[in-house]
Structure 1
Amino acid sequence: MAQPDPSAILAKLRKTPALQALLKGVEQGGVLSLDGISQGAWAFSAAVLAHFAKGRPVVVVCPTGKLQEQFHQELETWLPTLAKRLAKPPQFFPAWDVLPHEARLPHADVLSERLETLIHLAKRRKPSANSTAPGPVIVTTGVGLLQRTFSPAELKNRFRSFKLGDRIDPLDLVEWLEDQGYEPEAQVSQKGEIALRGGILDVFPLASPWPVRFEFFGDELESLRTFDPQTQLSREKIDRATISPGGELGILKQQLCANANYATGRLGDYLAGDSIFLLIDPEEIAGRVADYLGQVPSGDLFHDNWETALGQARQLGSIVEVRETGEEAEPPFQGLDAYRPLGESAGDPQVADTQRREFFNQLHRWLRNGYAVWTVCGTEGELQRFDELWIEYGLAKRKAEAKPVQMLGSMSRGFLVEATKLVVVTDSEIFGRIRTQRPRRLKSPHAAATRSALEIDFTDLSVGDFVVHLQHGIGRYLGLKVLPVETRTTRDGKEKSSGGEECLVIEYGTRDPGQEPPRLYVPVSGAHLVSKYVGTGRARPPLSIIGGKRWAKAKAAAEKAVSDVAADLLKLQASREAQPGHEFGDDTPWQRELEGAFPFEETPDQCSAIEAAKRDMQQPKPMDRLVCGDVGFGKTEVAIRAAFKAVMGGKQVAVLVPTTVLAQQHYNTFRERMAEFPVSVELLSRFRSKKQADAVIAALAAGSVDVVIGTHKLIQPNVRFRDLGLVIIDEEQRFGVLHKERLKMLRQTVDVLTLTATPIPRTLHMALTGARDMSTIETPPQDRLPIETTVIEFDDT
């Protein structure tokens, strides 16, 4: 892959009148305008300015959080190329993710990113007069700019370092951490939390990627280790730990009112007096800020008005207002809409291919006329597909002074710079689709929390329900109870319990009816050993006796019954595997193009499931794979790629779903993903009239329908396929016995892919015993947040 060389482009840009005037104006200070910059070139222009700013901080102010994320992603693409001497990646300074009237704190990751930016700026040393290294680049929003934070002096005072051998009372340390804003929990799982268990204290500092485990022997700090918050297992030993504030302010509003000498700070307080503020679409910023400030109570201590924020920016340096439109006869950075308009996807694949071929010819004309063409794609597969299309259209054989150079990165749209003869093309123009912004990855490597399949859902349990403990048997659930580990008297004379752990209380049976029933306290960390009792009929199960033999005998009998069933299932599966199946070929260029068009970043588990399914399809025996994953974890994308591979192999695909609504949803999704390819997708459900359904059934028999999505109508006797190669079943447990008999007939010779969030015991058992292959998708999509329920006191004011 040829990498772009920016030196020639930067040299030409430096000579353009527009950039010379901008740099001169920045040196003099004041408010400047940079008009005629297409949206796709906003981040590029900011990176160019950072390169020529000679160590001055550059603050990019966006109107919305969504544009801020996009801008930050694009800066991560351009800064390593254009400003190679940049000390650190661009800083992300988000606004709080709560509205002023909401009675809750911002998310810990938002506070963490704000705090990390402030720490980075506070540690920055002023560059020397001869320094040519770029200064820090910070991306924020208008709202983020006016929200107040720690003053630099207060932030410095709120850090505390600990080293091995230090003497400190763990309870005093817990009290200090709570004063700093840390929340005590039974188990640390996210930033801003602490947990004390005897002589072990877990702390997850806001400004650290991993939590820290303090181990005390009495009041001596004996051990320091980082650990994984998901597994709770230690990672590595450390000699020193620095604890940052647990909240952005870490003090109560009442304390602020009572202490007039306490001064909050602004982001600008951490910047030098030579900063450059880029206001992206200043009119839109002002409108968004006005809407937000309209919800801020009068006299609020944590917000400035917009005029105050702009006034500080003017005092610190220069303000550059960037707009997409302007009065220039020839905008310095033009969009590519005139050459590659993007809107609704072309319904006809031939029309779409013609449009793309013409755009590729235009790229070749630019190369022939001495332009530099840079292609920016999000994945290696997209770059590879670009090369394939370049060869397919016969452009590699033509003479040109140069070839397109390629780079991996995130860009929304391409642009053209006539003054330097530079054309930047993105995957949006190459593949003719409007790029969907991929969610920004959280910095913590463990930010995407996994949920164990054995984890108990406490919302499903009510007091009095029967539960099963793996070791002790059937008991009665009595609720949750916090067992305090230690109680102490604080300085103000109040008793305080520390290190309490929440436990499930389970009542068991007794040999003597007159005895008090024993109770088992199961820590929440051991809740995976407990499951809700599920039995047949309405009979109440007898409670097990702790230490008795009845539960052990019941487990042994169940294991034997399972083994008998497994033998029958294995025999059935062995006969199926003895039959030959269709062996699909390797991925086609269209397959790679479809996968490259996926607008989100695949999770590791999702990638494994996709590769496993495609690998099975390329084997000479029929596939029978079960894909388990929670709702929204990406099972449908696994099905889409498997279905497309089957169609590319000349086979038909049947997608069986339990409900009409789900059938319509899948139909829309499959059609949208395959719209740019000559793939026929149809629907069979009660949403279709009899005439429409008959036409689809006839087309299936004739082979003119590639993918059909349907409910129970799909397994009616009159439905015939010309060459069925793959059956995809979504939520198999919701089909009846007769339907499954019909599915067994389909399964004799075709590949089968089953998607489910809650597999039935028989299906799961077949997978666990090896009778069926199974893939699990336990990793949620990036930045997927849990549902938060907040109970607050009603305030009629």
Structure 2
Amino acid sequence: MQQNINKLLQSYLKRGAPYKAFKASSQSRQWVEGVEGYPLALTLNLYNQLIEGRLWVIAPTEEASRELAKDLDSALIPYTYLPSSGKLLYSPWQGSEREYAQLKALAALSESKRRIVVTHLRAFVSPLISKESLGTSQMRIKVGDPFNPYKVAEELTHAGYFRSPSTSMRGEFSIHGEVIDFFLHDEPYPVRLYGDWDKIERITYFDTFRQETVKNLTHFSYTILGSKETLVTASIEPYLNSGDYIFFQGKERLEVSYNSLMVEAKSLYRGAFLEDRSATKPDKLLFDYPSFYEKWEASTVLLDVRGQQSGALSYSLDGPRSYFGNFTMFKESLSQYLENGYQVFIYAGSELQKSRLENMLSQFPQVVIFEEAISSGFQIIEEKLVVICNHEIFGRRKEVVKTLHKVQTSPLDSFVDLEEGDYVVHVNYGVGRFIKIDRITMSAKERDYIKIVYADEEYLFVPIEQANLIQRYVGGEGTAPRLDKLGGQGWENKKARARKAAEELAGRLITLYAKRKSSQGYPFPKDTDWQLEFEASFSFEETEDQLNCIEDVKQDMESPTVMDRLICGDVGYGKTEIAFRAAFKAVMAGKQVAFLAPTTILAEQHYSTLIERLGHFPVEAAVISRMVPRKEQ
């Protein structure tokens, strides 16, 4: 179905003056106004089909470049995204994930002669790894190549990777006989090489937790940089080809962004100069964007505001309209559009939101709803076409929360709160006492280690990357725990006793829940339209675990069995939203709900959030705490 709107838009864009002018002369500069968002993504695709080189889009900010990338993704248009390194100017190579993501993009640019390249001004003008350093850092292995794990280990060590007993985090590698594992900074999974005497027999991605193969590979290309001393930086210029075409996204905004970067560079230069008298001056450190802008003729300049440039070519695209969560007003607007013969398309942003909107708009079968997300809606009056985004309906953008599948949290994420002498527990070695975080040089590499003392003054040094194996000791107050002995049986005996106690507790729980199962509860009715509308107005994209919890809670409520469920989750992962939806479901059934909070402040915060979420729904909410006068309670 999305192909239909793409055909409509492409047909409209091809009939426009900008496209006709570009087709007649692609080597001269044109000024264009009135195109942005999703139509801009399709415009880039049309232009890219007519040029021999690459088409670069320079956005003024990282946010603007990400929004454009989202539109290209929704339109299924291939592109390369060139991010910034994520570090301050004058900072040395740090080997971060963002730096390696930038390297990966630069490597892709070096190999492709025709491609859409999306970037933003900071990434475009900041120093990059030179093409020479990039070329010497690219490696390629394939099944059947000579197998030399020690050579690979040497390269990884030289690049700052750490050898560990098992590979579980980025920046680690391990060797187990004829198998070598390594986890690169810019890869979603670690790589495992299987050797068969002197040849590589198999290459796979594997899961660090289950140790299972995720995908078999016939070959694998990767980029690792050597020591900091051998790295050479350069400007973006060597990566540009003479046949490339440039889209400048917002003339004035790009100028403002460049001036801000220059101010930042000048403020950081003083510190860099005091450390190194040969530090590059700001005007030499940043790529000369103003000169580049003036001399690169094969380009399109997108104007920020209509009427900025005489003779500019334009499209008659109107911007989005927001309904600020007023669903009644939105339905009235839809009725008017359809009565006037408009085609209406809605981008929901997710499969779940699409399903909700289809239920809520079931009386409008003519409206087409996509599950994809685009940056903003638009309308073309002469084509009688309207495109609306989910966040324009509900007044808030859906924000993506990193799920536990993307970020594995640690029992002890930070040692900032630990003081010398605090007791900690290591999963494998038991109770010890935290001493400090020590920087130790090993194999000519400096690395941070967590220093823990055990019984008999024996010390354990744990790499900081394995902090997930350690957690703060939680026990009875007033008594110090006995330190375990490294290599002793004390810790294993404690774990065995804990397992036995857990089994006894499980037995008692089975008896308790058997009695609960036979009790009769109140079955709540199925979700109403208002329930769907309430859930659709949530400003975050639900995580998979959150959706499962919500579904389980609803099934519990609709069942005649007494409900007894505990929701566990880290701070910020959406437990409160689950409770809000359950409470709203109960209110829709004519019930009252008591929402208990452990502190007065938290009760006030939940109340404020609930009032905002309820919006125009005819549901009363109040807060009771010691801050509320007794008469009002």
Distance in 2, matches of 1:551 and 1:210, equals 33
Q: Does 1:75 align with 2:72?
A: yes
Name the structure 1 match of 2:276: none
Asked if the contact 1:4–1:405 (Cα under 8 Å) also holds between the matched residues in 2, the reply is: no
Distance in 2, matches of 1:527 and 1:434, equals 37
Point out the more displaced range, 290-299 or 145-154: 145-154
Distance in 1, matches of 2:196 and 2:556, equals 55
Asked if the contact 1:58–1:278 (Cα under 8 Å) also holds between the matched residues in 2, the reply is: yes
Post-superposition CA distance 1:40-99 (Å, at most 9, x none): x43312312422442533322222212222221122123x3xxxxx5xx33221223222
Question: CA 1:276–1:104 in structure 2 vs 1: closer, same or farther (change >3 Å)?
Answer: closer
Shift of 1:225: 4.0
Shift of 1:588: 2.1
Distance in 1, matches of 2:182 and 2:106, equals 21
Question: CA 1:138–1:672 in structure 2 vs 1: closer, same or farther (change >3 Å)?
Answer: farther
Shift of 1:458: 5.7
Asked if the contact 2:126–2:287 (Cα under 8 Å) also holds between the matched residues in 1, the reply is: yes
Q: Does 1:307 align with 2:254?
A: no
From 511, 528, 553, give the equivalent of 1:613: 553
Question: CA 1:535–1:423 in structure 2 vs 1: closer, same or farther (change >3 Å)?
Answer: closer
Name the structure 1 match of 2:395: 433
Distance in 2, matches of 1:176 and 1:548, equals 38
Name the structure 1 match of 2:346: 375
Distance in 1, matches of 2:446 and 2:332, equals 69
Asked if the contact 1:230–1:449 (Cα under 8 Å) also holds between the matched residues in 2, the reply is: no
Q: TM-score, normalised by structure 2?
A: 0.81
From 301, 318, 323, give the equivalent of 1:320: 301
Gaps of 5+ in 2: 270-279
Report which of the two structures shows the higher radius of gyration computed on alpha carbons: 1
Distance in 2, matches of 1:531 and 1:378, equals 38
Question: CA 1:529–1:3 in structure 2 vs 1: closer, same or farther (change >3 Å)?
Answer: closer
Shift of 1:657: 0.7
Aligned residue type for 1:294:
V
Question: CA 1:534–1:54 in structure 2 vs 1: closer, same or farther (change >3 Å)?
Answer: closer
* Secondary structure of the corresponding residue to residue 579 of structure 1: coil
Gaps of 5+ in 1: 81-85, 126-134, 257-261, 346-351, 397-402, 488-495, 509-516, 695-797
From 284, 302, 312, give the equivalent of 2:253: 284
Name the structure 1 match of 2:62: 65
Point out the more displaced range, 414-423 or 268-277: 268-277
Question: CA 1:641–1:479 in structure 2 vs 1: closer, same or farther (change >3 Å)?
Answer: same
From 34, 39, 43, give the equivalent of 1:44: 39
* Secondary structure of the corresponding residue to residue 340 of structure 2: helix
Q: Does 1:356 align with 2:330?
A: yes
Name the structure 2 match of 1:184: 162
Name the structure 2 match of 1:728: none
Aligned-pair Cα RMSD in Å? 4.2
* Secondary structure of the corresponding residue to residue 11 of structure 1: helix
Asked if the contact 2:167–2:208 (Cα under 8 Å) also holds between the matched residues in 1, the reply is: yes
Q: Does 1:450 align with 2:408?
A: yes
Shift of 1:505: 5.2
Post-superposition CA distance 1:113-158 (Å, at most 9, x none): 3233223222224xxxxxxxxx522221111111232444543332
1:200-349 → structure 2 map (5 Å cutoff): 201-214=180-193, 224-229=203-208, 234-235=213-214, 238=217, 240-246=219-225, 251-252=228-229, 264-266=234-236, 269-296=238-265, 297=269, 299=281, 302-311=285-294, 314=296, 317-326=298-307, 332-337=316-321, 341-342=322-323
Shift of 1:656: 0.7
Asked if the contact 1:59–1:278 (Cα under 8 Å) also holds between the matched residues in 2, the reply is: yes
Aligned residue type for 2:67:
Q
* Secondary structure of the corresponding residue to residue 139 of structure 1: strand
Q: How many residues align?
A: 610
Point out the more displaced range, 675-684 or 222-231: 222-231
Question: CA 1:423–1:534 in structure 2 vs 1: closer, same or farther (change >3 Å)?
Answer: closer
Name the structure 1 match of 2:454: 507
1:369-518 → structure 2 map (5 Å cutoff): 371-392=342-363, 403-429=366-392, 431-436=393-398, 438=400, 448-451=406-409, 496=443, 507-508=454-455, 517=456
Q: Does 1:195 align with 2:157?
A: no
Asked if the contact 2:398–2:541 (Cα under 8 Å) also holds between the matched residues in 1, the reply is: no
Aligned residue type for 1:415:
F
Post-superposition CA distance 1:680-721 (Å, at most 9, x none): 222222343344x33xxxxxxxxxxxxxxxxxxxxxxxxxxx
Aligned residue type for 1:46:
A
Asked if the contact 1:4–1:406 (Cα under 8 Å) also holds between the matched residues in 2, the reply is: no
Asked if the contact 2:17–2:314 (Cα under 8 Å) also holds between the matched residues in 1, the reply is: no
* Secondary structure of the corresponding residue to residue 6 of structure 1: helix
Name the structure 1 match of 2:107: 119
Post-superposition CA distance 1:563-618 (Å, at most 9, x none): 66666666555554443211122222222233233232222222222221112111
1:550-629 → structure 2 map (5 Å cutoff): 574-629=514-569
Distance in 1, matches of 2:494 and 2:228, equals 57
Distance in 1, matches of 2:261 and 2:447, equals 41
Distance in 1, matches of 2:320 and 2:417, equals 54
Post-superposition CA distance 1:613-651 (Å, at most 9, x none): 112111112211111111112212222222222222222
* Secondary structure of the corresponding residue to residue 655 of structure 1: coil
Question: Kindly, what percent of the aligned residue pairs are identical?
Answer: 27
Asked if the contact 1:62–1:280 (Cα under 8 Å) also holds between the matched residues in 2, the reply is: yes
* Secondary structure of the corresponding residue to residue 335 of structure 1: coil
Distance in 1, matches of 2:45 and 2:533, equals 35
1:96-135 → structure 2 map (5 Å cutoff): 96-100=85-89, 105=94, 107-108=96-97, 110-125=98-113
Distance in 2, matches of 1:391 and 1:234, equals 44
Question: CA 1:566–1:536 in structure 2 vs 1: closer, same or farther (change >3 Å)?
Answer: same
* Secondary structure of the corresponding residue to residue 138 of structure 1: strand
Aligned residue type for 1:680:
E
Aligned residue type for 1:242:
S
Distance in 2, matches of 1:641 and 1:120, equals 46
Question: CA 1:507–1:106 in structure 2 vs 1: closer, same or farther (change >3 Å)?
Answer: closer
Post-superposition CA distance 1:240-280 (Å, at most 9, x none): 44331348xx744xx67xxxxx77351x5445434332222
From 130, 137, 145, give the equivalent of 1:158: 137
Asked if the contact 2:18–2:314 (Cα under 8 Å) also holds between the matched residues in 1, the reply is: no
Question: CA 1:73–1:554 in structure 2 vs 1: closer, same or farther (change >3 Å)?
Answer: closer
Shift of 1:226: 2.9
Aligned residue type for 2:558:
Q
Aligned residue type for 1:450:
Q
Question: CA 1:342–1:101 in structure 2 vs 1: closer, same or farther (change >3 Å)?
Answer: farther
Post-superposition CA distance 1:515-570 (Å, at most 9, x none): xx484858669987876554435344556678988878877776676666666666
Question: CA 1:384–1:479 in structure 2 vs 1: closer, same or farther (change >3 Å)?
Answer: closer
Aligned residue type for 2:286:
H
Post-superposition CA distance 1:729-778 (Å, at most 9, x none): xxxxxxxxxxxxxxxxxxxxxxxxxxxxxxxxxxxxxxxxxxxxxxxxxx
Shift of 1:376: 1.8
Distance in 2, matches of 1:279 and 1:631, equals 41
Point out the more displaced range, 410-419 or 211-220: 211-220
Shift of 1:333: 0.6
Name the structure 1 match of 2:31: 33
Shift of 1:653: 1.7
Asked if the contact 1:9–1:420 (Cα under 8 Å) also holds between the matched residues in 2, the reply is: no
Question: CA 1:292–1:390 in structure 2 vs 1: closer, same or farther (change >3 Å)?
Answer: same
Question: CA 1:264–1:541 in structure 2 vs 1: closer, same or farther (change >3 Å)?
Answer: closer
From 666, 671, 674, give the equivalent of 2:606: 666
1:684-723 → structure 2 map (5 Å cutoff): 684-691=624-631, 693-694=632-633
